[in-house]
Amino acid sequence: MSNSLFYFFAALTLLSAGAVVFLRNAVAAALSFFVSLCCTGVLFVMLDAYLLAFMLILVYAGAVVALFLFIIMLLDMQGGTRKPFTKASMVASAIAGALLLVGVGVFAKHSEFAATAATLPADSSFSTDLKVYGASLFTTYLLPVQVIGFLLLIAMLGVIVLSKRFDGAEDIQ
Protein backbone atom coordinates (compact mmCIF):
# COMPACT_ATOMS: atom_id res chain seq x y z
CA MET A 1 0.00 0.00 0.00
CA SER A 2 2.66 2.44 1.10
CA ASN A 3 4.74 1.56 -1.95
CA SER A 4 1.96 2.25 -4.41
CA LEU A 5 1.17 5.51 -2.62
CA PHE A 6 4.82 6.51 -2.93
CA TYR A 7 4.89 5.78 -6.65
CA PHE A 8 1.65 7.65 -7.19
CA PHE A 9 2.82 10.81 -5.44
CA ALA A 10 6.35 10.59 -6.84
CA ALA A 11 4.91 10.40 -10.36
CA LEU A 12 2.58 13.30 -9.63
CA THR A 13 5.52 15.36 -8.28
CA LEU A 14 7.53 14.75 -11.43
CA LEU A 15 4.59 15.36 -13.75
CA SER A 16 3.68 18.66 -12.15
CA ALA A 17 7.36 19.69 -12.02
CA GLY A 18 7.52 19.01 -15.76
CA ALA A 19 4.37 21.06 -16.23
CA VAL A 20 6.05 24.01 -14.51
CA VAL A 21 8.64 24.01 -17.28
CA PHE A 22 6.38 23.25 -20.22
CA LEU A 23 3.20 25.24 -19.57
CA ARG A 24 3.05 28.51 -21.50
CA ASN A 25 0.67 30.18 -19.10
CA ALA A 26 2.60 31.59 -16.13
CA VAL A 27 -0.29 31.24 -13.70
CA ALA A 28 -0.82 27.61 -14.66
CA ALA A 29 2.93 27.01 -14.22
CA ALA A 30 2.88 28.53 -10.74
CA LEU A 31 -0.11 26.39 -9.81
CA SER A 32 1.62 23.22 -11.05
CA PHE A 33 4.58 24.25 -8.91
CA PHE A 34 2.16 24.36 -5.99
CA VAL A 35 0.90 20.85 -6.81
CA SER A 36 4.49 19.61 -7.05
CA LEU A 37 5.32 21.04 -3.63
CA CYS A 38 2.22 19.55 -2.03
CA CYS A 39 3.07 16.11 -3.42
CA THR A 40 6.62 16.45 -2.07
CA GLY A 41 5.05 17.29 1.26
CA VAL A 42 3.04 14.06 1.10
CA LEU A 43 6.28 12.16 0.39
CA PHE A 44 7.80 13.68 3.52
CA VAL A 45 4.74 12.67 5.54
CA MET A 46 5.21 9.11 4.34
CA LEU A 47 8.77 9.29 5.72
CA ASP A 48 7.35 10.39 9.10
CA ALA A 49 8.96 13.81 8.64
CA TYR A 50 5.84 15.71 9.61
CA LEU A 51 7.61 18.91 10.55
CA LEU A 52 9.44 19.08 7.24
CA ALA A 53 6.20 18.45 5.33
CA PHE A 54 4.45 21.13 7.32
CA MET A 55 7.24 23.66 6.71
CA LEU A 56 7.35 22.88 3.03
CA ILE A 57 3.63 23.50 2.60
CA LEU A 58 3.63 26.53 4.87
CA VAL A 59 6.70 28.31 3.53
CA TYR A 60 6.92 27.27 -0.12
CA ALA A 61 3.37 26.44 -1.08
CA GLY A 62 1.87 29.07 1.19
CA ALA A 63 4.20 32.02 0.98
CA VAL A 64 6.49 31.61 -2.02
CA VAL A 65 3.90 30.44 -4.54
CA ALA A 66 1.48 33.11 -3.34
CA LEU A 67 4.19 35.71 -3.97
CA PHE A 68 4.86 34.26 -7.41
CA LEU A 69 1.19 34.45 -8.31
CA PHE A 70 0.94 37.95 -6.94
CA ILE A 71 3.87 39.16 -9.05
CA ILE A 72 2.70 37.31 -12.15
CA MET A 73 -0.71 38.92 -11.92
CA LEU A 74 0.78 42.30 -11.05
CA LEU A 75 3.01 42.27 -14.13
CA ASP A 76 0.37 40.53 -16.27
CA MET A 77 2.88 38.11 -17.72
CA GLN A 78 1.32 35.79 -20.26
CA GLY A 79 4.47 34.29 -21.67
CA GLY A 80 6.28 35.66 -24.72
CA THR A 81 5.29 35.20 -28.33
CA ARG A 82 8.73 33.79 -29.07
CA LYS A 83 8.84 30.08 -29.74
CA PRO A 84 10.27 28.53 -26.59
CA PHE A 85 12.44 25.96 -28.38
CA THR A 86 14.67 26.47 -31.37
CA LYS A 87 15.94 23.55 -33.39
CA ALA A 88 19.44 23.87 -31.93
CA SER A 89 18.24 23.94 -28.34
CA MET A 90 16.01 20.94 -29.00
CA VAL A 91 18.91 18.91 -30.43
CA ALA A 92 21.16 19.97 -27.55
CA SER A 93 18.59 19.11 -24.92
CA ALA A 94 17.89 15.78 -26.58
CA ILE A 95 21.60 14.91 -26.44
CA ALA A 96 21.88 16.10 -22.84
CA GLY A 97 18.77 14.15 -21.90
CA ALA A 98 20.07 11.01 -23.57
CA LEU A 99 23.39 11.35 -21.73
CA LEU A 100 21.57 11.82 -18.45
CA LEU A 101 19.41 8.78 -19.18
CA VAL A 102 22.51 6.66 -19.89
CA GLY A 103 24.09 7.92 -16.66
CA VAL A 104 21.01 7.15 -14.61
CA GLY A 105 20.73 3.74 -16.27
CA VAL A 106 24.34 2.81 -15.51
CA PHE A 107 23.92 4.14 -12.01
CA ALA A 108 20.73 2.19 -11.37
CA LYS A 109 22.29 -0.98 -12.72
CA HIS A 110 25.26 -0.86 -10.33
CA SER A 111 23.66 0.83 -7.37
CA GLU A 112 23.57 -0.62 -3.89
CA PHE A 113 21.03 1.59 -2.19
CA ALA A 114 19.89 -1.10 0.22
CA ALA A 115 23.38 -1.74 1.56
CA THR A 116 24.15 1.90 2.34
CA ALA A 117 20.74 2.69 3.80
CA ALA A 118 20.93 -0.24 6.23
CA THR A 119 24.34 0.76 7.61
CA LEU A 120 23.19 4.24 8.65
CA PRO A 121 23.12 4.75 12.40
CA ALA A 122 19.90 6.09 13.85
CA ASP A 123 20.35 9.75 14.70
CA SER A 124 19.01 10.25 18.21
CA SER A 125 19.05 14.05 18.02
CA PHE A 126 16.66 13.98 15.08
CA SER A 127 13.08 14.56 16.04
CA THR A 128 9.89 15.86 14.54
CA ASP A 129 9.09 17.68 17.75
CA LEU A 130 8.89 21.39 17.12
CA LYS A 131 10.38 22.17 20.52
CA VAL A 132 13.47 20.04 19.90
CA TYR A 133 13.77 21.57 16.47
CA GLY A 134 13.59 25.10 17.82
CA ALA A 135 16.06 24.37 20.60
CA SER A 136 18.59 22.89 18.19
CA LEU A 137 18.25 25.94 15.94
CA PHE A 138 19.43 28.17 18.75
CA THR A 139 22.09 25.87 20.20
CA THR A 140 23.70 23.42 17.79
CA TYR A 141 22.90 25.39 14.67
CA LEU A 142 23.34 28.85 16.13
CA LEU A 143 26.13 29.78 13.75
CA PRO A 144 24.31 28.74 10.53
CA VAL A 145 21.19 30.63 11.66
CA GLN A 146 23.29 33.75 12.21
CA VAL A 147 24.94 33.37 8.83
CA ILE A 148 21.52 33.05 7.18
CA GLY A 149 20.53 36.27 8.91
CA PHE A 150 23.38 38.09 7.22
CA LEU A 151 22.60 36.34 3.96
CA LEU A 152 19.11 37.83 4.04
CA LEU A 153 20.52 41.25 4.93
CA ILE A 154 22.80 41.11 1.89
CA ALA A 155 19.94 40.00 -0.34
CA MET A 156 17.90 42.98 0.85
CA LEU A 157 20.80 45.39 0.37
CA GLY A 158 21.43 43.97 -3.08
CA VAL A 159 17.82 44.31 -4.19
CA ILE A 160 17.67 47.92 -3.02
CA VAL A 161 20.99 48.88 -4.59
CA LEU A 162 20.38 47.10 -7.88
CA SER A 163 16.75 48.05 -8.44
CA LYS A 164 16.25 51.47 -6.88
CA ARG A 165 16.80 54.53 -8.99
CA PHE A 166 19.26 56.87 -7.29
CA ASP A 167 19.34 60.48 -8.40
CA GLY A 168 22.53 62.37 -8.93
CA ALA A 169 24.72 59.38 -9.69
CA GLU A 170 27.90 60.86 -11.03
CA ASP A 171 31.53 59.90 -11.31
CA ILE A 172 33.89 60.58 -8.43
CA GLN A 173 36.65 62.82 -9.63
Partner 1 sequence: MNLDYAGLFRALAPETAIVVGALAVLGVDLTLLRGRSLATRMNVAALISALSVLVAFMLNGTCPCGRCWVGASGPVFGGALMFDSLANATRGGILGLVLLTIGVSTGARINRNPAEYLSILLFATVGFLLMAAAQQLLVAFLSLELASLSLYILAGFDKTRPDSAEAGLKYFLFGGMSAAFLLFGFSLLYGLTGSIELNHVADGLRHQGISPLLIVALVMVIVAFGFKAAAAPFHLWAPDAYQGAPTPSAALIASASKLAGIVFFARLLWSGLGFSAGNVSYAFTSVGWLPIVAVLSGVSMFVGNLAALAQTNVRRLLAYSAISHAGILLLGLIAVSRNGTSPIFYYATTYGIATAGAFGVIGVLERQGGCDSISDLAGLYRRSPLLAGCLMVFILSLAGVPPLAGFFGKFYVFAATLKLAGLAGVAGWLTILAILFSAVALYYYMVVLKQALVVAPAKDATPVRVPIAAAVTLVLAAIAIVAFGIWPSVLLGAV
- Give the residues lining the site for partner 1 (CB under 8 A): 107, 110-113, 115-116, 119-121, 123, 139-144, 147-148, 150-151, 153-155, 157-158, 160-162, 166, 169-173
Amino acid in the structure at residue 40: T
DSSP 8-state secondary structure symbol assigned to residue 25: S
Min dist CB 145 to partner 1, Å, is 9
According to DSSP H, which parts of the chain are helical? 2-22, 26-46, 50-55, 65-75, 87-110, 113-119, 130-138, 142-163
Pick 87 or 138: Cβ nearer partner 1: 138
Helices 142-163 and 130-138: crossing angle in degrees, nearest 10, is: 80
Of 5, 23, 26, 27, give the one whose Cα is nearest residue 15: 23
Min dist CB 56 to partner 1, Å, is 15
Report CA Rg, the chain.
Answer: 22
Min dist CB 1 to partner 1, Å, is 25
Pick 109 or 131: Cβ nearer partner 1: 109
Min dist CB 105 to partner 1, Å, is 12
Amino acid in the structure at residue 18: G
How many angstroms separate the CA atoms of 150 and 145, rounded? 9
Pick 85 or 141: Cβ nearer partner 1: 141
How many angstroms separate the CA atoms of 39 and 14, rounded? 9
Pick 8 or 48: Cβ nearer partner 1: 48
Pick 5 or 142: Cβ nearer partner 1: 142
Please, are residues 32 and 20 in contact by the beta-carbon 8 Å criterion?
yes
Amino acid in the structure at residue 16: S
Min dist CB 127 to partner 1, Å, is 15
